[in-house]
Structure 1
């Protein structure tokens, strides 16, 4: 019996890691695709709204199929679903797109991925899970790295509004890790992603119609470093691959690994974003920025290592692979 349980734990962790790296790779390309759209004349609001509508429509039928007989779980978790849709989905994506409109994709994402520190801080304030010495040192190292990355002392121009947008994306990402890891809701991962994206798409559309969120788009071709594409290609890519697929993989991996481990593995998204930023846009950080970014990653790793060993996932409760998306 113990052998079976251990095999289930190993399988759950391995598949969780595969899903987590897949999510990081998918999420990592969103900023590069979106920056091309914005350089072509799209506003951040229009780009993220198109992204969310494409993803919501892709997941609509799978979401309805997954929710057959589980509408009671939707009613019980209505508040959490709305919070997920507005913060973990809408705020994170909109703030990130606003940030990459005025700063490099990799820098914006590095700021966003100080989210694990925010997760630790929230768990400390909310649950009394006080970080250890390594966690505190890690937070300080990440803060120093952030200062170097933004080149505050060199006189280089880093848009302060972009920094604020990136920090807003960080709050949204922290919410994503905290809510995605909840396995007690009775909601299938694909349903949580689909409902959250639908809520976000509706909310952004209402804000656009009301004139609160500027909506500007164009059907002109979009130029990237490797060539020019019709406008609908990056829209579909950012909606299907970098959103629908990414959120489903992210939620599945977080439920298998727990919010702490999943947020740690998701740091690989930074590497993916830097790679896609270079391949698509020719963006590369300077030497000082690269060193600061490395310190941010080291600091986050120290924060993660300073956390309790026990994670917020029950390995014995890991679903079988065929149950993961249902």
Structure 2
């Protein structure tokens, strides 16, 4: 049974990572067609929120209620995990190749390691340091720093900011105690983020005619509404719930490389759909960077894993000593 559960979790994780991998390429298609990055973010999150709210009201109204003790966490979950991470990621996608934008987002585990070491004085394993060095080396190769940093500097800053917010979101969820049910968390995460981005997105200025037309994809033209529908239903809703199901079945050692497949999927899909490709040095740098991210992610999983409760005998003796 445990083996089948692990195999099922692995399959769910791979499918989830592939679904998430569509996010950058499909968003770039709509951004190139005339939408701004923040408008693209608002449309994706808002449409996903409406879909889940409708399902909740019709089928699961109790799951839409956020317990009083978790309301502040729900607000932070929406603002950091959805509005900030997704908004910054799409702003990066608008300026950099999708593959690099995804890799920069996945620097989050390295940033978490640095935070635990510098701010919390946690002793990190040597593997975490190796992972950080590999990530930095790979980033230097991908951005080709010897050419004078030909990549868009603002795009690189936005990409690193995406990694920082993703790291903050991870640390926030780790210290939040008991979490919300998945349906409740995702529904209000999407809803809160869409509301927060309404003013900067200025939906009254969205060029809606873009969604009524076609956009280029892999040498063909496809309806823009089909692209947006895939982004909402597959890349957002299906991907999030498959990811939550996979996390429950996978160990940290397996989950880290499976999650990192999203960056690989993004690179492959950007090449197929957008014709974006990297040079040999950049591909080598991406692989080195990805290896460093996986190593750092596994180290973070070990550092932040909840400790097993003390045996009853030891706990009882400590309680007596305390008295």
* Alignment match of 1:23 (pick from 5, 16, 31): 16
Q: Does 1:113 align with 2:106?
A: yes
Residues 161 and 53 of structure 1: is their aligned pair in 2 closer, same or farther, counting only changes over 3 Å? same
**Rg comparison, structure with higher value:** 2
Q: How far apart in 2 are the matches of 1:260 and 1:88? A: 23
Q: How far apart in 1 are the matches of 2:96 and 2:5? A: 38
Q: How far apart in 2 are the matches of 1:199 and 1:171? A: 20
Residues 11 and 74 of structure 1: is their aligned pair in 2 closer, same or farther, counting only changes over 3 Å? farther
Q: How far apart in 2 are the matches of 1:194 and 1:307? A: 27
Give the C-alpha shift of residue 247 in structure 1: 1.8
Unaligned runs of 5+ in 1: 1-6, 316-326
How many residue pairs were aligned?
Answer: 306
Q: Which residue of structure 1 lines up, in the alignment, with residue 314 of structure 2? A: none
Residues 259 and 47 of structure 1: is their aligned pair in 2 closer, same or farther, counting only changes over 3 Å? farther
Q: Does 1:59 align with 2:52?
A: yes
Q: Is the 8 A contact 2:102 2:263 kept in 1?
A: yes
Give the C-alpha shift of residue 306 in structure 1: 4.4
Residues 61 and 183 of structure 1: is their aligned pair in 2 closer, same or farther, counting only changes over 3 Å? farther
Q: Does 1:299 align with 2:288?
A: no
Residue by residue over 1:167-190, the C-alpha shift from the partner in whole angstroms, topping out at 9 and shown as x without a partner, is 122123334544566895352212
Please, which moves more after superposition, 174-183 or 197-206? 174-183
Q: Is the 8 A contact 2:38 2:200 kept in 1?
A: no
Residues 310 and 299 of structure 1: is their aligned pair in 2 closer, same or farther, counting only changes over 3 Å? closer
Q: Which residue of structure 2 lines up, in the alignment, with residue 172 of structure 1? A: 165
* Alignment match of 1:68 (pick from 56, 62, 67): 62
Q: How far apart in 2 are the matches of 1:105 and 1:60? A: 30
Q: How far apart in 2 are the matches of 1:123 and 1:261? A: 22
Q: Is the 8 A contact 2:56 2:63 kept in 1?
A: no
User: RMSD over aligned Cα, in angstroms?
Assistant: 3.0
Q: Is the 8 A contact 2:256 2:294 kept in 1?
A: no
Give the C-alpha shift of residue 260 in structure 1: 7.8
TM, length-normalised to structure 2? 0.83
* Alignment match of 1:222 (pick from 192, 211, 215): 215
Q: Is the 8 A contact 1:226 1:279 kept in 2?
A: no
* Alignment match of 2:191 (pick from 186, 191, 198): 198
Q: Which residue of structure 1 lines up, in the alignment, with residue 226 of structure 2? A: 233
> Which has more helix, going by share of residues?
2
Unaligned runs of 5+ in 2: 309-323
TM, length-normalised to structure 1? 0.82
